[in-house]
Amino acid sequence: MALPLQGRWADTRRVHLPRRATLSERIHLALDLYPCELLFIHRDAEREPRDLRVAEIQEALHRLPPSSPQPTAVCVVPVRMQEAWLLFDEMAIKVAAGNRTFRENLNLPMLKDMELLPDPKSALYDCLRRASGLHGRRLQSFPVGQRARRVADLIEDFSPLRALPAFGALEEDVKEIMTRLHLRRDTSQPPG
């Protein structure tokens, strides 16, 4: 099944929102800035069951103003933080850090332990800093957040993450939604 897709990251960090903006307000802003048919909404589970976070996302979608676009939504709910899902590909981390030839072992967690890390974001940032090989002022100016986002672009095979229940649930949701979108497009096309 092939659907034409064009992905864009809805980066709303630079837009002024009230300090305690609701999830619904953030989704509304993202849809205003980045109109789309398919929206991935990320919400870390953080000690809450996945079903509760999915329900929060669904509730936020129901609270959108009627005039707001109503795209199909995919709930992205990692157990802790999505950065945990990036801590399995050592080469992608080294390349994102700008030092493909870094020789030291980054001591990445075993796959079964990834979602148990107390702070995956710090772990990923530490790996990127180490892999950069930089020191002193150059390390202080290293754009670690930007490089962390690059790791996901460099990973060619996410299939090892299928062993993690939260990632497996995301993959199944995406498959189901893509099938629905494909079927919807097929039925909207005139017979040829």
The whole-number mean pLDDT for each consecutive block of 10 residues of the chain, a chain of 192 residues, reads 66 74 90 89 88 95 90 89 92 97 94 89 96 96 95 94 91 90 64 50
Q: Quick one: which H or E segment has residue 73?
A: strand 72-76
For the chain, report the end-to-end CA distance as a whole number of angstroms. Answer: 18
> What was the pLDDT predicted at 51?
92
State which residues form the domain around 170. Answer: 24-79+164-185
Identify whether 140 is part of a domain. Answer: yes
Compute the distance between CA of residue 80 and CA of residue 88 in angstroms, rounded to an integer.
Answer: 15
Using CB atoms within 10 Å of the CB of residue 188, give its burial: 0 to 12 exposed, 13 to 18 middle, 19+ buried: exposed
Residues 98 and 118 both lie in one domain: yes
Identify whether 69 is part of a domain. Answer: yes
Residues 97 and 147 both lie in one domain: yes
Number of domains present in the structure of the chain: 2
Identify whether 190 is part of a domain. Answer: no
Residues 97 and 33 both lie in one domain: no
